[in-house]
Structure 1
Amino acid sequence: MDYQSMCEHLAKIIKVPIREYDSNHRLRHVFGDFNAIPSSLEEDSNALEMYDELNKMTLPVAFSDKNLLYTAVLYVEELSCYFIFGRVKVPHADQIIQRHSYADLETICEAVSLFYDYLYDQKISIFDILSSSMDESSIQAEISKKLGETAFQYQEMGELHNPYDQEQREQASIREGNHDKLMLSFQESYAGRVASLSKDELRSIKNLGIVVLAISTRSAIEGGVHSEQAFLLSDSYILKVDEAKTQNEVYNIVRGAEIYFTKLVSETKEIKVENPLIFRTKNLILKKMHEKIVAEEMARELNTTQHIYRQFLKRKQE
């Protein structure tokens, strides 16, 4: 099994060295050029101990994160060795400051998945890798405990959540592109209260606003708004919510987003039958927003002639 070349390539792609340890936790090899310092790999021992404590579980993979610095350990029984993908210490002029070289969560998981597929000819997903290190029973126990505490708190205070019917009417207004109906849904009164999604009151309102934006985005897409356009708008609104300094600011951003989504749906529905070429071109332009748009390349991807495409652009500009 020639795995060393694969490890060298992967290390260069993820820009973090991959380490191989034998079954006794002795370092065998470091893949990928790396300007190491004596303490570069000292945290690997903790990762190996964590893996052994998990007892290899369902998959031979264990995953951990420390201050958003990710590490994955893969045990290969046929080779009797461990492979570590993830953070290492790097040299720094001020040795008091600890710096790390690392890759993001998705990159680490994709590297492990590719290497696992290479070794076993079997695919594993990011979900498989992350869940392999979770203790589901303890998580469910914590959720049950939290559910009991929350339910007791609501009963003690004699409160209920705001009604689901109101949310349905609000989202239906967006899907229909009906501005008047949306404004009526905003004016409804009810005895319930909004959910508490954080111990910090402002953070709770922000989280709730992000939930509403996510739901409203999908309602707009169901109403006919192009998905890429809707998601780009959603991302922008969510970033504005995250920057908000007051609850009132969050409220205005979210309500403004719902109104704008409703307006977009209404405009979309006004175009009863759109030329398929126009629709496909819009879709392609949205995907290439940050690229130079060349008529010849667009015509080729749209499977039409340059002449027709140039005429189409000319008419659109007119």
Structure 2
Amino acid sequence: MRIELDTDDLDVACRALTDAYEGLRLAVAGDCHRLRLVRGRLGPVELRRTTFTMAVTGEGQPICRLGFARLRRGSVAHAEGGGFTGHEAGDVFLIAQPDEPYKVMADAPDVETVFIDQALLAEVSDSRSSCKPEPVRFTGRLPVSRRAAGLWRNAHAHVRDIVVDQSAADQPLLAGAAVRMLAATALSVFPNTGLRQPTVVDSRDAHSAALARALLFVDDNAHRDISEADIAGAARVSIRSLRLAFERHPGVTVADHLRRVRLALAHRDLSAADPTVTTVAAIAARWGFADEHKFDLLHRMAYGVAPDAVIPHD
């Protein structure tokens, strides 16, 4: 994340907001006009934190991406059904549909926003594999429950931490897994039209030959930033069929199997590591494990020893 702007010049602030929010038209009230804009990107996901002291009414054209917000301070209200729906500090909500104009009122907000490309949501939701693929559409602005809102805050914080830590952001496996996790969280947190249950065709296609193709692809490509969509494509089935095949045998999720394969590869690298130049954290990150403590636990469960005990020290 980098600070793009920190100013109390109203004209500069308005131009920055107009540029950042795709032609947003503004009306500003109040005497204090300070604006701070911070931005970061991780592949198809953009993170922003916008903090300003004035009261603003804004109207904008479609932003062509899904935008999700977490309000840290102040208030925000968006136009809906002839009126306005308000949000308070701590709330998370969908900003607008990507194909619809929007109107908001904000009073001294500090708001964190995540923009997700629709292609990523289509990949994660498996909508591209349907007979008549259509973009996933969100049918409500608010999370389905308070617990779901907490899941979004945690997922957002995880991705934000990776964006802040440039060394982590530069690790393809970490970055790829993080953005797909965030998209999947959006689909589980906010009501949408994505198909969740497998169809009859999905069940029929979840056979042993598809599973064998998937397992071979994972073994050959675990070093790459591969997704469920990539694995399903190699197995020549939908993501839902792929998940069913793994549930039936070997009885784990696709993500769990990929993690096991990468854990074995990380163990191999630990066994061959030079302790003077390589750390456990570096190897864990290389293989997509963002949390060193969780990596330690997984390694102990699989191999009976801590990761640093595997590194040759003589």
* TM-score exceeds 0.5: no
In our comparison, the structure showing a higher alpha carbon Rg is: 1
Which fold has the larger relative contact order, with Cα–Cα distance below 8 Å and residues 6 or more apart in sequence?
2
Q: TM-score, normalised by structure 1?
A: 0.28
**1 or 2, which has the higher helix percentage?**
1
